[in-house]
Amino acid sequence: MLSNCTKQTHFAKFSTGVLSKALVLFALLTVVCESSVAGDVHALNDIRATAKTFLIKHLEQTNPGKFKVRVSSLDPRLKLSQCDTPLDAFLPPGARLNGKTTVGVRCSGSQPWKIFVPSTLVLYENVLTVSRTIVRGETLGLADLTVVSKEVSAANQAYIHDLQQAVGLIAKRSIPAGKILTAHMVQAPRMVRAGQEVILLATTPQLEVRMKGKALADGSKGDIIRVRNLRSKRVVEGVVTHTGVVRVSM
């Protein structure tokens, strides 16, 4: 009985040992299997890095050193096969290199896939701000303007960048101190007033003709206005070029 019991005990130990080794082997195989599966999934950080590098490369050509790129995180549940070729990034139709945008990243390998990565581009430009409150009708001077670097990604307004271009413009409305100056806030000074006598200037490479006329509308430099020729009484259209001067076609 003792011998049988011992044999049974040894058998039990042997069985337990075999079972333990089998469990250990199974666990190791499971880990290896899981590692293999994990290795077959393309790293999301690599996808985001590809999108960011693409955006930086393009922005450096248009806004060197004046931008920030933010690439959104991807859903961690996303499982894309490991690409066996370098990833390729592209700008989808309708996407823009400003504000909120989307970058396409694709794999052209043996198991191709494509994904769109949401991103945000923050652009900075040198723009003009007014250093004091400007009242309506006031003419801007050099001392009234300051050049600053501002984030302009979210705006669609026509910012004024040229300091010399802004000097002499007239405020169309009150502009608070520190406000970024846009083309909608100002207007060029009137060079011609309705009813004013003006010079009608017509030129060709060989000839210049000057006539007297009467402006039928106000006009700033570059504006097209109607003018009555005081001699022929004909009404013509011309471009305001200087104070009291309108250029017409011959």
Write out pLDDT tens, residues 157-171: 688 888 988 999 999
Contact (Cβ atoms closer than 8 angstroms) between residue 66 and residue 122: no
Q: Tell me which residue of 59, 63, 79 sits closest to 71, measured CA to CA.
A: 59
Q: Write the CB contacts of 41 (distance below 8 Å, at least 6 apart in sequence).
A: 79, 80, 81, 82
Residue 1 has pLDDT above 50, yes or no: no
Instruction: Give ∠ CA 213-219-222 in degrees, rounded to 5.
Output: 105
Q: Tens of pLDDT along 169-182?
A: 999 999 999 999 99
Domains in the chain (CATH in brackets) are 44-123 (no CATH), 126-187 (3.90.1210.10), 190-247 (2.30.30.760)
What mean pLDDT comes out for the span 55-64? Answer: 84
What mean pLDDT comes out for the span 195-205? Answer: 90
More confident residue, 158 or 36: 158
Contact (Cβ atoms closer than 8 angstroms) between residue 103 and residue 91: yes
Alpha helices in the chain (DSSP H): 2-39, 44-62, 163-166
User: Would you state the pLDDT for residue 154?
Assistant: 54
User: Would you state the pLDDT for residue 173?
Assistant: 93
What mean pLDDT comes out for the span 21-28? Answer: 39
Q: Tens of pLDDT along 104-138?
A: 999 999 999 999 999 999 888 888 999 999 999 99
pTM summary value: 0.51
Residue 18 has pLDDT above 50, yes or no: no
